[in-house]
Structure 1
C-alpha cells in the first residue's frame, strides 16, 4: 500500500514572533508531530557566537531533523495528515544574508530541492520576549526582517498566509489555513 503524502507546513518569521508556540499548538490540534528549530539546540551547545560556517552546520542539522521527524511521523502516526516545521532554509538564507551579507550555496540548493505545502508567516505584532539566544529586541530590525520574509514568500509558488493577532487568534487563523490544504 502506498504511503499518503504528508502535507508539510512551515512556520517562519522574525525571532520572538511565536513560531514555536504556534507549531506546538498546531501539532496538538492536528494530532501530529512538529520539527523544532535546530539552531536553538546548536547555539545552546556551541555558544551564541557563530560564523557563516556555523549557519551551514545549523542548516544541515535542521534538514536532518526534518527528515528524522518526517520518518518518525510516517511510522508512529501513519494517520497524521501534516507535519509542522519551525524554520526552514528561507530562514537560514535570511539569517545568513542579514548577518553576513551572503548565503552558503548549500542553503540555496536546499531551498531549490525541498518543497512544502504551506507557509505561515508570523507577524511582529506580539511583544518581543527576552531570551539569551535572541539578537533583535528593537522594533526596526523586526519589521525589516518581516518585510524580507514577506518578499520571499510573494516571489515563490507555495501558498502562504500572514499569521497575526493574539496568540489565540494566531492559532485559530493557522488552523483554518492548514485545514484549507488538507
Structure 2
C-alpha cells in the first residue's frame, strides 16, 4: 500500500489547528491524527517536565504511525513533533537530542501554518496570548530550517477553510495523482 500524503496543520496556540484538521479530514474523506500532547497534558498533575516533552514526542510519533494505515490517500496531522522542539526550547532552553535527530526523518509533504489572525480562545492548556507573534516567527524559522514546503493559512470562518483546501488541492495537482 502506498504511503499517504502527509499534511501537517501547525502554528501557534489558538490558531484553530484541531478544528482545521477535523474539517480537512471530513472534506477529503480521510482521518486525522489528533495532537497527542493535549490528552497527555490534561492528565498531568504538576508542571510539564523535559521528560514529559520526550514522552509527548514518542506518543505523537506512535499515534501517527498507528493511524496512517487508515488514511484515504491523505493523512491530516494536527501538529507535528516540531511542536516538541519549540516548547522544549521555550520552556527548558534545550531540545532533547532524540527529538533533534528525528525531525528530519519525519517530514510532511505539506505544512499548513495557521496564522494568528483568529481571536485568542482561553483554554487551560494555553499559556501565551501575548506571545503569538513571537511563536509565529518561531514556526517560520523552524519550517525554513527544515526546508519544509509550507503555506500560511489566514482568514476567518469559511474563508480560512477555503484557503486551506485551495493550498492542499494545489499541492496535490502539482504532485500529480495521490
TM-score after normalising by structure 2: 0.92
Native 8 Å contact 1:11 1:19 kept in 2: yes
Aligned counterpart, 1:24: 22
Runs of 5+ unmatched residues, structure 2: 173-178
Question: Which of these residues, 144, 149, 157, is aligned with residue 167 of structure 1?
Answer: 157
Aligned length: 172
Question: Which of these residues, 84, 95, 98, is aligned with residue 92 of structure 1?
Answer: 84
Regions of 4+ moved over 2 Å: 154-158
Cα 1:48–1:39, aligned 2, differ >3 Å: closer, same or farther? Answer: farther
The reply to whether residue 54 of structure 1 matches residue 41 of structure 2 is: no
Rounded to whole Å, the distance in 2 between the matches of 1:19 and 1:158 is 18
Native 8 Å contact 1:97 1:103 kept in 2: yes
Shift of 1:48: 5.8
After TM superposition, the structure 1 = structure 2 runs for residues 148-163 of structure 1, keeping only pairs within 5 Å, are 148-163=138-153
**Cα displacement string for residues 75-100 of structure 1 (whole angstroms, at most 9, x for unaligned residues):** xxxxx220110111111111110111
Aligned counterpart, 1:143: 133
Native 8 Å contact 1:59 1:89 kept in 2: yes
Native 8 Å contact 2:104 2:146 kept in 1: no
Cα 1:57–1:4, aligned 2, differ >3 Å: closer, same or farther? Answer: same
**RMSD value over aligned CA atoms?**
1.2
